Amino acid sequence: MATVLVVDDDLAIAQMVGRVVEFLGHTPVVCTDAFDVIMNHRRGHAAAVVDYLMPRFDGLELLASIQEVNPSCRRVMLTAAPDEKLVQDAVKSGLVQRLVSKPPSLFDLESALSWLR
The pLDDT of residue 49 is: 96
Mean pLDDT by 10 residues, the chain (117 residues): 94 96 95 85 87 87 90 91 72 87 91 85
The pLDDT of residue 14 is: 96
CA–CA dist 82, 50 (Å, integer): 13
The residues that bridge with 100 in the sheet, in sequence order, are 78
- pTM of the complete model: 0.91
Please say whether the beta carbons of 51 and 29 come within 8 A: no
Please say whether the beta carbons of 17 and 28 come within 8 A: yes
The pLDDT of residue 83 is: 65
Question: What distances in angstroms separate CA 6 from CA 10, 90, 92, 104, one per listed residue?
Answer: 11, 19, 22, 13
Residue spans per domain, the chain: 3-109
Query: Which CATH architecture does the domain made up of 3-109 adopt?
Result: 3-Layer(aba) Sandwich (3.40)
The pLDDT of residue 81 is: 72
Q: Is 31 strand, coil or helix? A: strand
